[in-house]
Amino acid sequence: MYYIIRNSFKNELYQSGFYSFPPLYLKIMMKDLLNIELKGLPIEGLDIHIIKKYVVKTPSDQSFNVKNLSILLIKAGRFKIQLQEAVQDLYPRDIIVIPKNSFCTLLEVQDKLQFFLITFSSEFAIENCLNKKLLDSFYFFIIKESLKITLDEKEFLVLSLIYKLIYFLSKDDKLSRFDYDLQRISFSLFLYELKFIYAKHDTMAALNFSRRESLAMGFLTVLSIHCRKQHHVKFYAGTLSVTPAHLSKIVKSITGKPAKILIIEAIIIEAKNLLDNSQLSILDIVEELEFDSLSSFSSFFKKYTFFSPSEYRSNAIERFKSR
C-alpha cells in the first residue's frame, strides 16, 4: 500500500504541473538558515526552504553550533561542510541529516549551489513521532553524528517532490483546516520516505545508542502501543524496570519533555483521532481511552486543547464539509 501511495503521489504532482517551481534566490547566511527561530510559522516548529541560487554570505571557516535538527538535500553544485570532526563533501543527490547541537564549520561552496532544507524543533519531532508507524523515525532526532548518503535518481525525485509539497503548503498564510491536516500528512510521508531510504542503504543498522537513548526509545515504543489504556508514568517505568523518577529524568534529557507530558500529548492525539471518527460516540471514546467518566475526559481534553470534546467534533465536521 505504501508503494502505491508513493507512486500515486508522484503521478499527481506531475499531472498538476507542481514539479516546475519558481526560483528562490537566497541572500541569507547558512548559519541563520540552520538556526532559524521556529515559532510563529504556519506549522509551528517546522521550516523549509528550496534554494535555487545560494549567494554566499557566510565567511569561509566560520564555525557555529546548529540549534535545530536539519535535513539537507543537494540538487546542484558542491557544498563542503564539517560537522563535529567529520568533513563532508556534498554533491548533487546527496542528503545529510545534521543533528541538533552539532558544531558546524562551512568550508566551501562551488558551482551555483541549489538545495532543499527542512528544519524541525524538538517539540515538533516528538509530537509527530508518537505515531507508532513513525516511531523509528525518532532515531533521526537523537543521533549525534551526521548521516550522509547518495540517493539514486528515483529516490532523489520522490524526496524532492515531497520537499516541494511541504514547501508549497507551508508558505501559504491563508490555509484551511484541511490544508493544515495535509501538511501533517505530507510531513509523515517525508518521514516514511526518509526511513525507507536510510534503511535501504543500511545506515540505520550501524547506529549505536547509549543506555539513556535506548531507555527513551523504549518508553516511546511502549507509549505508542499502550497510551490509550495506560495514563500514568508508573506503568511505563514498571514495564522498563526503572523508577518513575528515573524514567522521567532520562526521557526529559533526551526529548526535552518529561514522561508525563509525553503521555498527555499521546492521549490527546489519540482522542482527536477518535473524535474525528463520527461513527464513535463520545461515550464510546471515554470507554476506549479508559477514563472514569465523561466529565473527567471532558475536563482533561479541554484543559489541553481549550475545546470540549463535542466542540472539537463539531469543528471537525465543519472541516469535513468545507472540503
CATH number of the domain that 35 lies in? 2.60.120.280
237, 172: one domain: no
Domain limit, last residue, from 206, 233, 255? 206
pLDDT band of residue 256 (cuts 50, 70, 90) is confident
| Distance, CA of 168 to CA of 155 (rounded, Å) | 20
Domain limit, last residue, from 174, 206, 238? 206
Total domains present in the chain? 2
Long-range pairs, 240-247, Cβ under 8 A, ≥24 = 240/215, 242/215, 247/215, 247/219
126, 274: one domain: no
112, 95: one domain: yes
Q: Please tell me the predicted confidence (pLDDT) of residue 200.
A: 80
> Cα-flanking dihedrals φ and ψ of residue 320, to 5°?
-65, -40
Of residues 40 and 80, the one with the higher pLDDT is 80
Q: Which CATH number goes with the domain that contains 266?
A: 1.10.10.60
| Structural domain containing residue 69 | 2-206
The mean pLDDT of 36-48, rounded to a whole number, is: 77
pLDDT band of residue 90 (cuts 50, 70, 90) is very high
Q: Please tell me the predicted confidence (pLDDT) of residue 261.
A: 93
178, 261: one domain: no
Of residues 115 and 174, the one with the higher pLDDT is 115
Question: How far apart, in Å, do the first and last CA atoms of the chain sit?
Answer: 24
pLDDT band of residue 214 (cuts 50, 70, 90) is confident
Whether the pLDDT of residue 317 is over 90: the answer is no
158, 217: one domain: no
227, 188: one domain: no
226, 136: one domain: no
305, 256: one domain: yes
Whether the pLDDT of residue 42 is over 70: the answer is no
Q: What is the mean pLDDT of the chain?
A: 79
Residue 28's SS3 state is coil
Q: Please tell me the predicted confidence (pLDDT) of residue 131.
A: 65
107 residue type, one letter: L
DSSP annotation of 107: E
DSSP 233-289: HHHHHHHTTS-HHHHHHHHHHHHSS-HHHHHHHHHHHHHHHHHT-TTS-HHHHHHHT
Domain limit, last residue, from 206, 226, 255? 206
Query: How much of the chain exceeds pLDDT 70, in percent?
Result: 75
179, 132: one domain: yes
Per-residue pLDDT tens digits for 130-156: 666 666 667 777 667 778 889 999 999
The mean pLDDT of 110-116, rounded to a whole number, is: 85
Q: Please tell me the predicted confidence (pLDDT) of residue 18.
A: 41
